């Protein structure tokens, strides 16, 4: 019940004011801690300052949880939902990506500027296709980072888990860069983020890859390829749009016929192979699943390309992709809400 209320708060109310937003507090602490960075032992000092922040956040959230336990159940659930909401951001993620597409339809420069709000890469010279690719990469990666992972850790450790994860992910987004400035300073933050996202990223990627509902693929045939051995290549051909004629009301037999390709275990191998192309051990799972399901290619020039045989991203594909991943994300989040109710009945907390 707590997760469901938090999801409704997120979708219909949105983000709390900046002055009382925990993620803003985390960012302010990390900016302050970065001022302590010096040339001596940067990895050690970065790890210590990160660890101090993590202990403070976890301890504060434990204190809030203890206080909530003193309340009757009718007060505990809504207050926990209010406190959980800042740990994830679903509606804001969807809105930002939609606004990028809206800006891009007006002017390429406007689309680039809008994209720069949510990605760290240089957007000044990106083409329209690359802007759309970056936007879709962002929504697919952040479905895991910004929605599913916080809910996962809430199920495991309650508010302390959700807040600790949010702090770790914020630290990685600010310090987790492979450059001269942050390579050593942010090493601990980056490694802890990899660890905390390991399971949620794979849950999200597998969910998107096998999610049984959605919109039509843009072309009648998509070929997925992966290298299984140095001298062998396996090809999986989908003879019709994967999602053709699908709706929530489709019967199980019809649904399974349209997904007959999924009876073969090889599609999982395709996903696993594609997800391994990104520098991050986790972000590739949801991005690769999204690219494969939509029949498009996504990538960062000179770094990686996912589903290289896929189609270019256009306006129609972008709009359909945003709607599809929003729907898939909602259903997965609701499953987490159901698990939260079951967990409460089992152990009596959060």
Please indicate whether residue 36 or residue 261 has the higher confidence score (pLDDT): 36
Confidence of residue 10 (pLDDT cuts 50, 70, 90): very high
117 lies in the same domain as 32: yes
Mean pLDDT of 302-330: 92
**Phi then psi dihedrals of residue 119, to 5 deg:** -125, 155
Question: Does the pLDDT at position 218 exceed 70?
Answer: no
Question: Does the pLDDT at position 328 exceed 80?
Answer: yes
33 lies in the same domain as 165: yes
Mean pLDDT of 192-211: 95
Question: Does the pLDDT at position 252 exceed 50?
Answer: no
57 lies in the same domain as 13: yes
Indicate whether 159 belongs to any domain: yes
The residues that bridge with 226 in the sheet, in sequence order, are 234
Q: Residue 24: what pLDDT?
A: 95
Q: State pLDDT tens for residues 13-45.
A: 989 999 999 999 999 999 998 887 766 777 888
Indicate whether 216 belongs to any domain: no
Indicate whether 217 belongs to any domain: no
333 lies in the same domain as 281: no
193 lies in the same domain as 294: no
Please indicate whether residue 61 or residue 344 has the higher confidence score (pLDDT): 61
Q: State pLDDT tens for residues 275-294.
A: 999 999 999 999 999 999 99
Residues 95/115, Cβ–Cβ less than 8 Å: no
Mean pLDDT of 245-256: 37
Number of domains into which the chain is organized: 2
Nearest-Å Rg of the Cα atoms of the chain is 21
Q: Residue 85: what pLDDT?
A: 96
Q: How many CA atoms lie within 13 A of 350 on its CB side?
A: 26
Q: State pLDDT tens for residues 99-140.
A: 999 999 999 999 999 999 988 888 888 999 999 999 999 999
328 lies in the same domain as 270: no
User: What pTM, to 2 d.p., does this model score?
Assistant: 0.83
Indicate whether 53 belongs to any domain: yes
Residue indicated by tokens 């073969």: 264
Q: 247: buried, middle or exposed (CB in 10 Å: 19+, 13-18, 0-12)?
A: exposed
Question: Does the pLDDT at position 337 exceed 80?
Answer: yes
Q: Residue 214: what pLDDT?
A: 67
Mean pLDDT of 239-248: 36
Residue indicated by tokens 């302010």: 28
Confidence of residue 261 (pLDDT cuts 50, 70, 90): very low
122 lies in the same domain as 268: no
Question: Does the pLDDT at position 266 exceed 70?
Answer: no
286 lies in the same domain as 240: yes
Indicate whether 101 belongs to any domain: yes
C-alpha to C-alpha distance for 201 and 158, rounded to whole angstroms: 19
Q: State pLDDT tens for residues 221-231.
A: 444 443 333 33
284 lies in the same domain as 330: no
Q: Residue 73: what pLDDT?
A: 84
268 lies in the same domain as 329: no
Q: Residue 64: what pLDDT?
A: 93
Indicate whether 256 belongs to any domain: yes
DSSP string, 257-276: HHTGGGGSSHHHHHHHHHHT
96 lies in the same domain as 175: yes
Mean pLDDT of 39-68: 90
Residues 287/306, Cβ–Cβ less than 8 Å: yes
196 lies in the same domain as 263: no
Four-residue CA torsion sign, 70, 76, 81, 82: negative
Indicate whether 278 belongs to any domain: yes
Mean pLDDT of 294-305: 89
**Residues, the chain:** 350
Confidence of residue 330 (pLDDT cuts 50, 70, 90): very high
Indicate whether 214 belongs to any domain: no
298: domain range?
A: 222-314
Q: Which of 52-61, 120-129, 153-162, 340-349 bottoms out in mean pLDDT, i.e. has the lowest?
A: 340-349
Q: Residue 46: what pLDDT?
A: 87
- Rounded mean pLDDT of the chain? 83
């Amino acid at each position: 019940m707590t997760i469901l209320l938090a999801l409704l708060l997120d979708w219909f109310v949105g983000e709390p004011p900046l002055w009382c937003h925990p993620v803003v507090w985390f960012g302010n602490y990390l900016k302050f801690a970065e001022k302590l960075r010096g040339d001596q032992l940067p990895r050690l000092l970065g790890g210590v300052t990160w660890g101090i922040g993590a202990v403070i956040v976890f301890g504060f959230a434990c204190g809030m949880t203890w206080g909530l336990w003193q309340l009757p159940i009718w007060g505990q659930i809504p207050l926990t939902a209010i406190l959980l909401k800042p740990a994830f951001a679903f509606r804001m993620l969807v809105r930002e990506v939609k606004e990028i597409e809206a800006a891009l339809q007006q002017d390429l420069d406007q689309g680039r500027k809008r994209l720069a709000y949510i990605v760290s890469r240089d957007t000044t010279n990106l083409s329209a296709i690359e802007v759309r690719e970056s936007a879709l990469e962002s929504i697919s990666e952040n479905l895991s980072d910004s929605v599913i992972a916080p809910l996962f850790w809430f199920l495991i450790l309650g508010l302390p888990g959700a807040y600790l994860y949010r702090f770790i992910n914020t630290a990685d987004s600010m310090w987790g860069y492979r450059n001269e400035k942050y390579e050593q300073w942010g090493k601990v933050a980056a490694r802890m983020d990899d660890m905390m996202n390991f399971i949620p990223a794979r849950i999200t990627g597998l969910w998107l890859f096998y999610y049984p509902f959605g919109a039509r693929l843009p072309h009648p045939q998509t070929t997925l390829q992966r290298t299984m051995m140095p001298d062998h290549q396996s090809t999986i051909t989908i003879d019709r749009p994967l999602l053709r004629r699908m709706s929530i009301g489709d019967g199980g037999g019809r649904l399974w016929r349209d997904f007959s390709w999924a009876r073969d275990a090889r599609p999982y191998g395709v996903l696993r192979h594609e997800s391994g192309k990104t520098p991050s051990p986790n972000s590739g799972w949801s991005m690769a699943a999204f690219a494969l399901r939509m029949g498009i290619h996504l990538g960062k020039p000179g770094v990686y390309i996912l589903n290289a045989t896929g189609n270019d991203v256009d306006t129609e594909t972008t709009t359909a992709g945003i709607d599809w991943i929003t729907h898939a994300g909602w259903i997965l989040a609701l499953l987490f809400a159901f698990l939260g109710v079951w967990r409460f009945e089992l152990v009596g907390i959060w």
